[in-house]
Amino acid sequence: MHPIIYRHADVDGFKVFYRHAGREDAPKLLLLHGFPSSSHMFRELIPRLADRFHIVAPDLPGFGQSDMPARESFAYTFANLAAVIGRFTEVIGFEHFAVYVFDYGAPTGFRLALEHPERITAIVSQNGNAYEEGLSDGWNPIRAYWRDASPANREALRALLAYQTTVWQYTHGVPDTASVSPDGYSLDDFYLRRPGADEVQLDLFRDYRHNVELYPAFQEYFRTHRPPLLAVWGKNDPFFLPAGAEAFRRDLPDAQVQFLDTGHFALETHADEIAAAIREFLGR
């Protein structure tokens, strides 16, 4: 058994909370969560991998137990999230590592790869998108905000922060919703209810357009550096379509693509299958 240890790292004055497990001399694996979650989403995956890998799962800036500074002192952009997490990997001594990217973790992790491609040994993308065809119509309200950052369009997005929406994100596309623990979406809603958290998330909705603008750069990174890549995808995801997983093969013909009969938060229902796929993939 490899216990999970809970720590904070001082990243140039920014407190980053993270979960740590496994032997420090084992191959390194960085787990990056998405919206509106935290490293808590990896609570079932980490124990299934800690015997083989040195695992670190941080909470992104503004999420979970990491610092959420005021918007006046920290601009909530994906470039800044990636900058903090990039420095975090240096602070904890992650020089070379595989990265698991999910949702918001994808543009964060892919930015790390653009900045330091020599550090990335492999990529596991679980519903972590890098292609336009992977974006569903569910993005249309956010696309409207990209086109026109009016107060009305910003206000319309508050529905995406409601408790019922978070529950829906966890349960949509899951054949048996009774298999989804309420712990994940209840904790996410707790963090979303913190004073100021709503404005942070609305800022990130607005900034997400820059991730889409970077898709060609991410794809060029794939073609140039050819990282081993496993796309393991909840095929019923209402936001990131299966076409986004298949598209990796366009730039990485050897990419492995595996679909699961579940939704966006695939780890809630398929932790065993995802862990097995990662062990086989990274084991080679």
Q: Which residues are catalytic?
A: 264
Cis status, amide bond into 227, omega within 30 of 0: no
Integer Cα distance of 281 and 284 in angstroms: 6
* Sheet strands (E) in the chain: 5-11, 14-21, 28-32, 54-58, 97-101, 120-125, 229-234, 256-260
CA neighbor of 78 nearest in space, from 243, 212, 183, 175: 212
Phi and psi, residue 147, nearest 5°:
-70, -35
Q: Angle of helix 182-192 relative to helix 197-213, nearest 10 degrees?
A: 100
Beta-strand pair 229-234/120-125: parallel
DSSP state of 195: T
| b/e code 125-144 from CB counts within 10 Å (16+ = b) | bbbbbbbeebbeebbeebee
Integer Cα distance of 206 and 222 in angstroms: 26
Spacing of C-alpha 185 from chain mean position: 16
